[in-house]
């Protein structure tokens, strides 16, 4: 006798007589109808955080990236990082002009600190991030802005280096980015940024802004 295929009715019920239906020794009474197993629900896991309190691993989307930038500046204040390096073709999508982020920059800024910005151009910063421009005027002695003479492909869209944590955008269109505290990851990122800095020239000077 050929096997009866295991088929479920359109409403997800298994009919008696189908494969897997009640048989000898089965507690289900003859003629009973039982539901097919429900698919397991997918659990959305929150990203892991490291010792710095910053997310570790892959995140996607411009909103997640912007949230990371805000968290980095907040942690820079808390952990008193002496140096930050930020890299992007134009910083247009960064939340640099937000009041809270600039407040964190003000709280972080002091003698002995340094922040390096690497970009192709800074016109979007001047047009979109007015509060950041004002902060740049006040703390120009700790800010180094560098114009990198490379193609857009060669200059990564979204890189952050700190002494304890680093981030790199892997997919510019989807803003898929990886954050890590791994020493090797941070060292490799630092080397890339140093090379870009060596190939750059000063830009976004205070005097050309009329400040």
CATH 3.30.870.10 domain locations along the chain: 48-209
For residues 92 and 114, the answer to whether their CB atoms sit within 8 Å is: no
List, in sequence order, every residue forming a beta bridge with 171; answer none if it has no partner. Answer: 176
Is residue 66 within a helix (H) or strand (E), and if so which, with residue range? helix 62-79
Closest by alpha carbon to 74, among 36, 108, 34, 28?
108
pLDDT in tens, 60-93: 999 999 999 999 999 999 999 999 999 999 999 9
Terminal C-alpha separation, the chain = 91
pLDDT in tens, 187-211: 999 999 999 999 899 988 776 544 4
pLDDT in tens, 137-189: 999 999 999 999 876 566 878 999 999 999 999 887 888 999 999 999 999 99
Cβ-Cβ contacts under 8 Å for 75 (sequence gap 6 or more): 52, 53, 54, 81, 162, 165
pTM of this structure: 0.75
Using a pLDDT cut of 90, give the percent of the chain over it. 64
CATH number of 48-209: 3.30.870.10
Closest by alpha carbon to 77, among 109, 108, 111?
108
């Amino acid at each position: 006798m050929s096997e009866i295929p295991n088929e479920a009715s359109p409403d997800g019920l298994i009919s008696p007589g189908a494969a897997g239906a009640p048989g000898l020794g089965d507690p289900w009474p003859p003629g009973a109808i039982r539901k097919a197993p429900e698919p397991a629900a997918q659990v959305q896991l929150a990203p892991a955080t490291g010792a710095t309190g910053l997310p570790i691993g892959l995140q996607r989307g411009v909103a997640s990236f912007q949230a990371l930038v805000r968290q980095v500046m907040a942690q820079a204040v808390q952990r008193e990082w002496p140096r930050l390096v930020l890299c992007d073709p134009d910083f247009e999508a960064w939340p640099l002009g937000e009041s809270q982020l600039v407040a964190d920059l003000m709280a972080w800024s002091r003698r002995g600190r340094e922040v390096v910005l690497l970009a192709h151009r800074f016109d979007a910063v001047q047009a979109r991030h007015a509060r950041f421009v004002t902060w740049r005027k006040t703390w120009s002695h700790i800010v180094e802005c560098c114009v990198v003479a490379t193609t857009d492909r060669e200059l990564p869209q979204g890189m952050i280096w700190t002494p304890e944590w680093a981030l790199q955008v892997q997919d510019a269109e989807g803003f898929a980015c990886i954050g890590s505290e791994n020493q090797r990851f941070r060292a490799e990122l630092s080397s890339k940024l140093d090379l870009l800095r060596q190939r750059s020239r000063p830009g976004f000077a205070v005097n050309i802004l009329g400040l």
